[in-house]
Structure 1
Amino acid sequence: MPKTLNPLQLVADRWQPSARFVERAALACVVMSVVIVVTGGAVRLTQSGLGCPTWPTCTEDSLTPTPAMGINGIIEFTNRMLTYVLCAVVGVAITAARARDPRRRSLTRLGWAQFWIVAANGIIGGITVLTGLNPYIVAAHFLAATSLLTVAVVMWLRAREGDAEPRDVVPRPVRHIGWALVVTTALLILAGTAVTGSGQHAGDASRDVHRIPLDWREVTQLHADFVFVVVGLVVALWFVLRAVRAPATPRRRVAELFVVLMLQGVVGYVQYFNDSPEIVVGTHMLGSCLVWIAVLRVFLSLRERGEAVAVPQPSGSGAQEPVRADEPTPAGR
């Protein structure tokens, strides 16, 4: 009976990507995940949320925007098309992870998880249009995009390390602070979606878009309260890491997170005291992604899984894949 051909296996039989290529493919997924969030925000901030008034086509009679729809139709449709670019980038990451030898199933699974999140969020985006920019669906759309960013970051960081059992590089109570930081930041992002759903930028100025029935200033205050808690946890974690003489990597990651938080705080205050100008709101959305990435990097730096295994070379070839120079060995951490 003929053997069933697996397209990914056929690629793996003919192409052997380097560890750095897999890592860069995973990083490209992170970049595209951020781009999708920022361009999605641009759709809302330019009042283009219903630039294409239906889904999956742009109008009842046209797949693409018509000249009569103007710039709003172009902006909304362009954001839809970027989803296909994202799918292509994720596809490259999946293929590279599958072709890598030795095979790392964890990376392949993370790649496929991104694919299914993209597919699900595409449907959520369609529901967003069909429900006339319902703020709760808009919030779900953003949270799904954040979930995609989470998986993309985890894949990127996992591509830089091995598959050994995780080993804490700090005492267990310090890991608990890391968990508290992740949970509190997630609540901060969730509060941010409530600010968006009740705030001034509904996404379309041509019709009455339903808003979350909350005072956006009070919700913004709650959002700011979470910021103070997150900053407090970051400062506490930095001092604790110094006290337990933690390796340099987690201390550096915490310092990077603190800088990102301070910059994001400045943007947030400029946004609040200047009546939320569109360009500043968009910058704040970009900052939200950068904060979340930095938090995940802090959390995952509190444990290690060894070095990635090099590709076995044919005997006598004398060739070896270069060792990463920018990452310390387990003994040196």
Structure 2
Amino acid sequence: MTDIVAPETTPAPTGWRDRFFAWMPREVDARVRVFAWLSFIFEVFIIGTGGAVRLTGSGLGCSEWPLCTPESLVPTPEQGIHGIIEFGNRTITGVVGILAIVVLLFTLHIVGGRRAFTTALWFALGGIGAGCVLYAIATVAGHDELAFPAFAAGLLLVAVLAAVQSIRTITGRRDLPVLAWIVLVGVIAQAFVGGVTVLTGLNPLIVGFHYVASLALVCVTAAFLVRMREDQGPRERTAPTWFMILSHVTGLALAMTIFVGVLTTGSGPHSGDANVIRTGFDASVLAHVHSWPGYILTGLVLVLLVSALLLRLPVRNWLIVLLAAIAVQVLVGVWQARDGLPALLVGIHMVLAALTAATYTVVMLKLKRPVE
């Protein structure tokens, strides 16, 4: 496999710019791979810390957003361990955002050269400026509680515009920039949704959406890890048509399993705070409903694995990993249901769901390969 080399650009004047860009990679080298893996790991890790917030009843450990209290950015002694857990999760969000920015800038420099990199920085300054303007408008209008959400909305809007402009103007491969932009925009949007979650008193539907969005970002970062090791250009299928169709049906079963699982958690005892109103659904009934697509998913993956082994398809090793992840999920799900949903097992179940979805993403991407 050949690495992806950036297009030739006009040499810039010597000085600090050259020294800075000399550190930026011109190929998908070890630096990019390290930061891409860190981005994936922390996307999974933040699901774990977010689960800890919910499972320890720390959802309102910080009563405000983005401040922890109306007077303090960090938790105060009066908030105790709940404030520390909630603030810790918010801190991890910052780490996830920084990693997303680094991966994006590296990717833009690799694919689009210096111009794509500097254009993204100008958009970043514009986003901060737009956020500040909206913040000032909300403050002057006397809506202090909307000031920080307005800032985040301005930043998010400019990030979307920057992504569209960047993808339209890049002349090289676009898959890696698209994936990198999705992660960064998603992280900004998640910070906004996290604020809405606090301001709405941990509405279970918004909390569920927050989790699903985090899981989707895990899948996108996994897709980046796969695609950054492959050449650009046309791709061809590595499996028969019926196998491709069955793989997509399996994806629907996985999506349904996760969806019902989110509803089940949103109706169970782990609300994030003792005073939060639940969805109103019967959690015990949903737990049984949740198992149905789970068992269907297990059967479909087993059929895919046996078929891949018989046909000696390249994707067979990843299907073994997927089946193992689902098997562990089933065991943890049955165990937690019989033991009254202990917090630790619920948290493990949440993280495993994200890893299962990421593995399925890899399987689907491996069903095609670059044309040699």
The bucket for the TM-score relative to the shorter chain is 0.7 to 0.9
TM-score by length of 2: 0.76
C-alpha distance 276-134 of structure 1, shift in aligned 2 (>3 A): same
2:367 aligned partner: 302
1:15 aligned partner: 24
Q: CA deviation at 1:262?
A: 1.0
Distance in 2 (alpha carbons) for counterparts of 1:231 and 1:118: 31
State the SS of the aligned residue for 1:69. Answer: helix
Q: CA deviation at 1:191?
A: 0.9
Aligned residues: 299
Distance in 1 (alpha carbons) for counterparts of 2:91 and 2:24: 29
Contact 1:12 1:98 (8 Å CA) reproduced: no
Distance in 2 (alpha carbons) for counterparts of 1:78 and 1:117: 20
State the SS of the aligned residue for 1:100. Answer: helix
User: What does 1:61-140 correspond to in 2, within 5 Å?
Assistant: 61-100=71-110, 104-140=173-209
Kindly provide the amino acid, as one letter, of the partner of residue 226 in structure 1.
P
1:279 equivalent to 2:344? Answer yes
Contact 2:28 2:228 (8 Å CA) reproduced: no
Distance in 1 (alpha carbons) for counterparts of 2:362 and 2:245: 15
Q: CA deviation at 1:281?
A: 1.0
1:316 aligned partner: none
Write out per-residue CA displacement over residues 148-199 of structure 1, whole angstroms, 9 at most, x where no aligned residue.
Answer: 1121111111111111212101112211111111121111111111011100
2:290 aligned partner: 223
C-alpha distance 241-153 of structure 1, shift in aligned 2 (>3 A): same
Kindly provide the amino acid, as one letter, of the partner of residue 204 in structure 2.
P
Distance in 2 (alpha carbons) for counterparts of 1:60 and 1:293: 38
Distance in 2 (alpha carbons) for counterparts of 1:213 and 1:90: 37
Kindly provide the amino acid, as one letter, of the partner of residue 15 in structure 1.
M
Q: CA deviation at 1:11?
A: 5.2
C-alpha distance 23-209 of structure 1, shift in aligned 2 (>3 A): same
Write out per-residue CA displacement over residues 105-140 of structure 1, whole angstroms, 9 at most, x where no aligned residue.
Answer: 321221111111011111111111111110011011
Q: CA deviation at 1:19?
A: 2.9
2:163 aligned partner: none
Q: Higher mean Cα deviation, 98-107 or 261-270?
A: 98-107
Contact 1:192 1:223 (8 Å CA) reproduced: yes
**Which runs of no fewer than 5 residues in structure 2 stay unpaired?**
1-12, 113-171
Distance in 1 (alpha carbons) for counterparts of 2:34 and 2:229: 10
Kindly provide the amino acid, as one letter, of the partner of residue 79 in structure 1.
N
Instruction: Name the Cα RMSD after superposition.
Output: 2.2
Contact 1:19 1:159 (8 Å CA) reproduced: no
Percent same amino acid among aligned pairs?
A: 33
Distance in 2 (alpha carbons) for counterparts of 1:304 and 1:235: 23
Q: Higher mean Cα deviation, 291-300 or 127-136?
A: 291-300
Kindly provide the amino acid, as one letter, of the partner of residue 273 in structure 2.
D
2:122 aligned partner: none
Distance in 2 (alpha carbons) for counterparts of 1:200 and 1:238: 36
C-alpha distance 8-151 of structure 1, shift in aligned 2 (>3 A): farther
Distance in 1 (alpha carbons) for counterparts of 2:45 and 2:20: 28
C-alpha distance 304-9 of structure 1, shift in aligned 2 (>3 A): farther
Query: Which of 152, 155, 163 lines up with 2:224 in the alignment?
Result: 155
2:301 aligned partner: 234
Distance in 1 (alpha carbons) for counterparts of 2:286 and 2:18: 51
Distance in 2 (alpha carbons) for counterparts of 1:28 and 1:99: 19
1:253 aligned partner: 318
Q: CA deviation at 1:69?
A: 0.5
Distance in 2 (alpha carbons) for counterparts of 1:25 and 1:251: 28
